[in-house]
Amino acid sequence: MAKTEIQTHGLGSGPGAGTAGDAAPAVVLENVSKSFGDHHVLRGVSLTIRRGSITVMLGPSGTGKSVLLRCLVGLLKPDTGRVLVFGEDVAALDETKAKDREKLFAIRRRFGMLFQDGALFDDMTVYDNVAFPMRLHTDLSEAEIRERVIDKLHRVGLKGGEQKFPAELSGGMRKRVAFARAIALEPDIVLCDEPSSGLDPVMSATLDELIMEMHRSLGITFIIISHDTAEAKMVADTIGMLANGHLVAFGPKEEVFREDHPAIHQFFARETQGPIKVV
Amino acid sequence: MKRLIDFLETLGALGAFAWQVFWSTLTSPRYFKETLRMMDVLVRRCIIPVGLAVAPVGAVISLQGIDVFKLFGAERMLSSFLGTAIVREYSPALASVMVAAQAGSSIAARIGTMKVRGQIDALAVMGVDPVRYVVVPGVIACLVVTPLLSVITNFLGIASGWFFAVPIGGVDHGAFMEHLTAQITAADLWVGLGKCALFGLGVGVIAGFLGLRVKHGAASVGKAANDTVVNTIILILLTDYVVSMMLLGMGL
């Protein structure tokens, strides 16, 4: 299987390179590294994501984007470094200890996550999938939950399919239901893992518009990992580029494009020659 | 050597997992609706297979036993043996084995599938502890449903034994009932129910443990379901032997 490798010489990957804006940070990563055996997936990644931003992390497949996302919510523990979410170091919490586990779950409740394939619960209807976090984490009456579920499904353009099961939906519909579930509690941060993968361009653009609409109306911080350059151009206010475990570029979209970073240039121009190598 | 180390590591992990399940059962949050739903599923799924497994055993004991008891002119006492064997041994063991086969495999497969499809991670990211939400309800359901099923199988096993002893074997109904009620004590019933609860607990914990250890794809899910059935049945039969020896030693 082809792998991509990047030449990092001369690229801005040191500490402080990953800072975007001075607003109160939602997430701070300090020198985060993660390996699986001999495979170094993340190598000293440092970045700051401010509240209310839409950050798109780009990069070739297999360069640690999903691992980064999983480290943010404590699904993976980095080997070194700190992962600060609203000031709390998620990486320092030990899930095997009851107190830390409760703390970790409390932090996770501030997140919504759109998984790559939706991760909808197979044995629940669309309605129950979206209602699920509300039933567990709020004291809302069933009537209030119903109102909110319908509202969320309406926002993602799904009306009338509430009683369908995930297996009866198309890929695009499943993703929209998963998005409705991710924003059901109007969380502080929504993580999107490859939101456009497997979707046609029109559906992909529809989902991007949804993200921007949610950002505008609810002020949610979005962290999106993607290799869709059109999506990054459309929704991002901050762009990061991960390649071979290194954060090779990070900053406001305009600034990143203005600097014309070689890896960014190669990625957006779809060129085979450049610092990113297919090996 | 490596196999031994792997086995000991797995045993240690199972012990830690069992403790986590125990702790999660004692502390909030608890998911009562999910627990009741699991109980409902288990009863529906297990009641017919469990009944079909135990009822013939009572019939066979009567069929085989009546001739032996007749040799000693003691056929009136057949029900004493039948009752004790069904209530203390066959009903708990067979009900638990069938729960392991039906419920244990389906719990492991369900959790394994959820793991493979990212639904366990989705729960965790939503701030829901998967052990509390997915495993604990299954464990409690097995713990409660297995003894309940054994009450039904006690009745079915004895009823089928009665049918082959009284109408077919010619044993007097009054004598059958008199020896049955005289022989089966409250201690027998409690021993049977206690064993079922213990076996049910083991099925639930092992199914949850193996389900959550699933890593890749459908084959891994199938292996978890299969391993759950094999391991729990071996465990049930071994534990049944040990517990029976201990209880007999204690005069119970």
In this complex, do B118 and A117 lie within 8 Å of one another by their Cβ atoms?
A: yes
- Average of pLDDT values for B162-166? 91
Domain contains B23: no
Rounded CA gap, B150 and B236, in Å? 14
In this complex, do B118 and A109 lie within 8 Å of one another by their Cβ atoms?
A: no
pLDDT at A279: 54
Give the pLDDT band (50/70/90) at residue A277.
low
Residue pair A191/A111 in contact (Cβ under 8 Å)? The answer is yes
pLDDT at A259: 78
Q: Is the pLDDT of residue B204 over 50?
A: yes
* Pairing relationship of beta strands A238-243 and A80-85 according to DSSP bridges: unpaired
Using alpha carbons, select from A229, A212, A228, A126 the residue that is nearest to residue A168: A126
pLDDT at A271: 80
Tens of pLDDT along A171-221?
Answer: 888 988 999 999 999 899 999 998 888 778 888 888 899 899 889 888 899
Secondary structure class of B109 (helix, strand, coil): helix
In this complex, do B126 and A108 lie within 8 Å of one another by their Cβ atoms?
A: yes
- Average of pLDDT values for B143-154? 93
Q: What CA–CA distances, in Å, run from B143 to A107, A158, B42, B106, B240?
A: 33, 41, 11, 16, 16
Give the pLDDT band (50/70/90) at residue A21.
very low
Closest approach of chain A CAs to the CA of B152, in angstroms?
29
* Pairing relationship of beta strands A111-114 and A25-36 according to DSSP bridges: unpaired
Range of the domain at B113: 30-249
Q: What CA–CA distances, in Å, run from A145 to A139, B19, B29?
A: 9, 35, 20
Closest approach of chain B CAs to the CA of A258, in angstroms?
36
- Residue indicated by tokens 């464990």: B139
pLDDT at A105: 87
Angle (nearest 5°) at CA A30 between A61 and A33: 45
Q: Which residues contact B207 (CB under 8 A, 6 or more apart)?
A: B103, B104, B105, B107, B108, B111, B138, B142, B228, B232
Domain contains B18: no
Question: Which residues on adjacent β-strands are paired with residue A238?
Answer: A55, A252
Angle (nearest 5°) at CA B228 between B223 and B232: 150
pLDDT at B187: 86
B29: cis peptide before it, omega within 30°?
yes
Q: Which ranges of chain A would DSSP assign to H, the alpha helix?
A: 65-72, 98-108, 126-137, 142-155, 171-182, 201-218, 229-235, 253-259, 262-269
In this complex, do A121 and B126 lie within 8 Å of one another by their Cβ atoms?
A: no
Using alpha carbons, select from A44, A81, A51 the residue that is nearest to residue A247: A44
Domain contains B17: no
Residue pair B189/B87 in contact (Cβ under 8 Å)? The answer is yes
Kindly report which listed range (A196-210, B21-35, B161-175) carries the lowest average pLDDT score. Answer: A196-210
> Average per-residue pLDDT in chain B?
91
pLDDT at A16: 37
- Average of pLDDT values for A83-111? 89
- Average of pLDDT values for B54-79? 87
**A36 lies within 8 A of chain B by CB:** no
If one counts the domains in chain B, the total is 1
Using alpha carbons, select from A203, A223, A182, A216 the residue that is nearest to residue A27: A223
Global ipTM: 0.81
Report the C-alpha dihedral over residues A244, A245, A246, A251, rounded to 10 degrees: 110
Percent above pLDDT 70 for chain B: 100
Q: Spell out which residues of chain B touch residue A70, defining contact as CB-CB under 8 Å.
A: 121
Secondary structure class of B190 (helix, strand, coil): helix
Domain contains B9: no
Give the pLDDT band (50/70/90) at residue A13.
very low
Domain contains B5: no
Closest approach of chain B CAs to the CA of A100, in angstroms?
12
Query: Which residues of chain B are at the A interface, by a Cβ-Cβ cutoff of 8 Å?
Result: 16, 20, 23, 27, 29, 113-114, 117-119, 121-122, 124-129
pLDDT at A268: 81
CB pairs under 8 A between A and B: 54
In this complex, do A115 and B121 lie within 8 Å of one another by their Cβ atoms?
A: yes
Using alpha carbons, select from B188, B107, B149, B227 the residue that is nearest to residue A123: B107
Q: Is the pLDDT of residue A15 over 60?
A: no
Kindly report which listed range (A16-25, A123-132, B176-185, B239-248) carries the lowest average pLDDT score. Answer: A16-25
Rounded CA gap, B237 and B93, in Å? 7
Q: Is the pLDDT of residue A11 over 70?
A: no
Write the DSSP symbol of residue A85: E
Q: Considering only alpha carbons, which residue of chain B is nearest residue A75?
A: B121
B97 or A159: which leads in pLDDT: B97
Q: Which ranges of chain B would DSSP assign to H, the alpha helix?
A: 2-26, 32-71, 78-84, 91-99, 105-116, 119-125, 130, 136-165, 173-183, 186-212, 217-249
Q: Is the pLDDT of residue B28 over 90?
A: no
Hey, how many other C-beta atoms are within 10 angstroms of the C-beta on B149?
28
Domain contains B8: no
Q: Chain-centre distance of CA B246, in angstroms?
A: 19
DSSP string, B168-184: TT---HHHHHHHHHHH-
B111 or A157: which leads in pLDDT: B111
Q: Considering only alpha carbons, which residue of chain A is nearest residue B125?
A: A108
Domains of chain A: 4-110+187-278 (3.40.50.300)
- Average of pLDDT values for B160-177? 90
Q: Considering only alpha carbons, which residue of chain B is nearest residue A69?
A: B125
Give the pLDDT band (50/70/90) at residue B223.
very high
**A72 lies within 8 A of chain B by CB:** no
Percent above pLDDT 90 for chain B: 59
Give the pLDDT band (50/70/90) at residue A155.
confident
Pick from B125, B135, B136, B212 the residue to mutate for testing the A interface (most A CBs within 10 Å). B125
Closest approach of chain A CAs to the CA of B125, in angstroms?
5
**A212 lies within 8 A of chain B by CB:** no
pLDDT at A6: 39
Domain contains B3: no
Question: Which residues on adjacent β-strands are paired with residue A5?
Answer: A277
Residue pair A131/B124 in contact (Cβ under 8 Å)? The answer is no
A10 or A170: which leads in pLDDT: A170
Domain contains B14: no
Using alpha carbons, select from A66, A31, A77, A1 the residue that is nearest to residue A223: A66
Q: Which residues contact A94 (CB under 8 A, 6 or more apart)?
A: A100
